[in-house]
Chains A and B, each alone.
Chain A
Amino acid sequence: AQSVTQPDIHITVSEGASLELRCNYSYGATPYLFWYVQSPGQGLQLLLKYFSGDTLVQGIKGFEAEFKRSQSSFNLRKPSVHWSDAAEYFCAVGESHYKLSFGAGTTVTVRA
């Protein structure tokens, strides 16, 4: 069985500063990788996904993520954070065609 680890439970960042959220996974084959964002009381919105090809993936809202096979990582980045980026972020790995495994999530707080 595979697992997804988000080492940081909570990150606080100043508005305008850069943000990086870490995600590590264990999976035997080439995974399908996703990042989702969840605002309080809301559902999950897809930020970006990686299936194959270019290891740097661009998503919505100015986010990008880089797949590093050697490190089994898929870290999410944003160069300049806005107050509206305060939310919970989930990394997910497509274990098979039928199951998406999620990390425990990272809560991002943005301070003025």
Chain B
Amino acid sequence: NAGVTQTPKFQVLKTGQSMTLQCAQDMNHEYMSWYRQDPGMGLRLIHYSVGAGITDQGEVPNGYNVSRSTTEDFPLRLLSAAPSQTSVYFCASRGTGSNYGYTFGSGTRLTVV
């Protein structure tokens, strides 16, 4: 099925470890983004990309890196995990024109201990 695929679904990290959350979409969307969801705060934008090779920071970028080497993939890297990064992470892509709208992945639940 077409859409946004995130892996893994669950992850537990120790403080200081690094990891990469994967995100892939098969809708040929130029725009992709990463959000984190915390209770009572809705979703907050971490990083976004408007096309291959182009990324920019969102609202809460500290501690995260991204790159966009292909249209399909937009991985999120945690450089040195901290307990404050315990959250649910969502990747989204957005169509254009008549298909304007954000499609979200099913999320990655990350716990940092």
Task: Report, as a range, how many residues of chain B touch the other chain.
Answer: 20 to 34
Interface of A is mostly: strand
**Does the CB pair A46–B43 fall under 8 Å?**
no
B78 close to chain A: CB less than 8 A: no
**Does the CB pair B43–A90 fall under 8 Å?**
yes
- From 1 to 41 in chain A, residues with beta carbon under 8 angstroms from any chain B beta carbon are 4, 9, 32, 34, 36
**Does the CB pair A51–B42 fall under 8 Å?**
no
Question: Which B residues are in CB contact (< 8 Å) with A44?
Answer: 43, 90, 104
Query: What is the chain B residue whose CB lies nearest that of A48?
Result: B101
User: In whole Å, how far is A22's beta carbon from the nearest beta carbon of chain B?
Assistant: 15
**Does the CB pair A43–B104 fall under 8 Å?**
yes
**Does the CB pair B58–A46 fall under 8 Å?**
no
- From 22 to 62 in chain B, residues with beta carbon under 8 angstroms from any chain A beta carbon are 31, 33, 35, 40-45, 48, 50, 56, 58-59
**Does the CB pair B101–A46 fall under 8 Å?**
yes
Residues of B near any A CB (own CB < 8 A):
31, 33, 35, 40-45, 48, 50, 56, 58-59, 90, 92, 100-107
